[in-house]
Chains A and B, each alone.
Chain A
């Protein structure tokens, strides 16, 4: 048994993983089996209704924790900039939801506020989350505010003991809010450590992927819809959402629907880190973005149920109208532009969708509205200077040039001018096919029933013909 955990029971990797079902049932306080409908289908809306309250109550809880109702800022000089290289008559108005104004500095406070509230209501003494991102600081901040104990488990160091500066900073912030921070080296066993700590402490699992954690973001989508309509007299034409685990896309899209924004396009945006292996010790410190990248965005879109809950409430394929990628260099450029033209020092990771806005807005008419729905705090470790210094120290070539020339892990190419920025579309049809392949492999499907076909179509938002055809290509027929 590792000295990291105390108390009775064997806490080796295999023993703990074998008990994951019962550990999570107790730590989440939710019996996920009640939502299952057969071997693969489940009732998604029943799961999402399980908190027992809706948007209005969620907003009340958040307001009591100083979360939400963040400023919506019109970026007039960024818009003017886009119009300088847009075709005549084009260059949509760009708005930014300044989520850095939340207590711990990101939209993650919205998710944490509800998770910690739930833990407290149910009588848990503390909360635990496994996250290397802003969510850790958010949970720690909310636990401090609501009077619960808190443990955050992070993946921080490579085998040399070199910590990614952005994650080191988030660890510092968690500790500043009074949380115990368990800092691990590279590897997916973050989940095992989470389970063992949940078992030892009896704390609540403040997972990013529970219905509470998604409902928490619905208030953000709702605010965007209502505020844009009040300010401009129209619904947002396009909301750009930085996409990693899928919660931001799912919650924002659901909130926009609640605000009645039927025609708004929800566009997920990730930093392109293709070619880097997320569980590789050698690759770990060759990236300058620790979240909002394709290393999470693609696998979580194509198989959400790889998370730390039995059924993931974040299901981005159900909500994405488009998925686009930008480069690390383009996000650093957009971060600098935001500081130098708008006087707002934010990010950088939260500016992933801002970089995309500089391309997306140019092809839309001038009266159209594009919304970048988050910012995050900047600071030591999280600043572009810190990230680029670290990149150079890890052998990455940093230069100005054509962003198309960048190779993730080898080079970061900062554009010469904003018109070079491209929000490159990834095919949703391919992601849907990949989702179906994962379902076939995960469940060992030889054939599916009519009901299962309907569920798969709903879960990846495809028509049943596409699903049947794709499954047929994998040797899986539809029965009955």
Chain B
């Protein structure tokens, strides 16, 4: 996740009232958490990130108040201006792309008499490269 990014054309790290921002806060310190947590989680705080409209001018890292989309006021540390989705479709996965041609070949080989005995064919990855 990218924290601390700013809107283009704006002085870095300055946010104005009404800006759409993300805050970060600690909800529970390690000692306050639920019992029976696995060791790794028990040693960590429970953190929250909430988006909303900034209520005061502030710099990144400052404690601020926001107004959320449901109309609640929440306080926390200002960590991002214009928080934007950073997720995407990832990189192409050739291991998956070759499945289509392999399956089409299976269907062609099976033909209308699908279900007859035939040697296993699928283990020949597509494409079959000459001399490989």
Contact = CB atoms under 8 A, between A and B. Distances in A.
Nearest to B98: A400
Contacts of A216: none
Q: Specify the main secondary structure of chain A where it touches its partner.
A: mixed
Given A2-B27, A386-B87, A279 B115 contact: no
Contacts of B75: 3
A341 B115 contact: no
B69 A179 contact: yes
A81 B32 CA distance: 55
B104 A340 contact: yes
Contacts of B110: 80-81, 83-84
A380 interface: yes
Contacts of B52: 180
Nearest to B84: A172
Contact of B90 (A12, A159, A339, A390): A390
Contacts, number: 207
A180 to B, nearest CB: 4
Given A88-B116, A187-B37, A279-B37, A388 B93 contact: yes
Contacts of A337: 99-100, 103
A186 B41 contact: yes
Contact of A4 (B74, B102, B103, B118): B74
A151 interface: yes
A339 B46 CA distance: 39
B132 interface: no
Interface stretch (A162-170, A228-236, A291-299, A428-436): A162-170
Interface in A461-475: none
Contacts of A279: 37-38, 41
Interface residues of A, number: 78
B4 to A, nearest CB: 12
A91 B46 contact: no
Contact of B89 (A87, A126, A183, A383): A383
A80 B121 CA distance: 15
Contacts of A61: none
Contacts of B102: 417
B58 to A, nearest CB: 15
Interface string B1-34: 1010000000000000000000001111000111
Interface stretch (A22-30, A37-45, A188-196): A188-196
Interface in A365-388: 380-381, 383-388
A164 B51 CA distance: 18
Contacts of B32: 12-13
Nearest to A385: B90
Contact of A157 (B49, B71, B74): B49
A126 B71 CA distance: 11
Interface string B106-119: 11011000111110
Contact of A386 (B47, B71, B89, B104): B89
B131 interface: no
Nearest to A174: B69
A421 to B, nearest CB: 11
Contacts of A387: 90
A173 B51 CA distance: 14
Contacts of A89: 115
Interface string A196-211: 0000110000000000
A77 interface: yes
A386 to B, nearest CB: 4
Nearest to B94: A400
A13 B28 contact: yes
Given A81-B103, A84-B114, A183 B50 contact: yes
Interface in A393-435: 398-400, 414, 416-419
Nearest to B26: A2
A212 interface: no
A360 to B, nearest CB: 16
A439 interface: no
Interface in A81-125: 81, 83-84, 86-91
Interface in A230-261: none
Given A80-B107, A414-B95, A380 B87 contact: yes
A3 B87 contact: no
A281 B48 contact: no
Contacts of B85: 168-169, 172, 380
| A-B CB proximity, top 6 nearest | A417-B122, A389-B90, A340-B100, A84-B110, A3-B75, A180-B70
Interface of B: 1, 3, 25-28, 32-34, 37-38, 40-41, 44-52, 68-76, 85-93, 95-97, 99-100, 102-104, 106-107, 109-110, 114-118, 120-123, 125
Given A149-B70, A201-B72, 9 more contacts: A13-B34, A80-B114, A86-B115, A161-B3, A175-B69, A187-B37, A280-B38, A385-B90, A398-B95
11 contacts: A4-B27, A83-B115, A84-B110, A189-B28, A280-B38, A380-B88, A385-B93, A390-B90, A416-B123, A417-B102, A417-B106
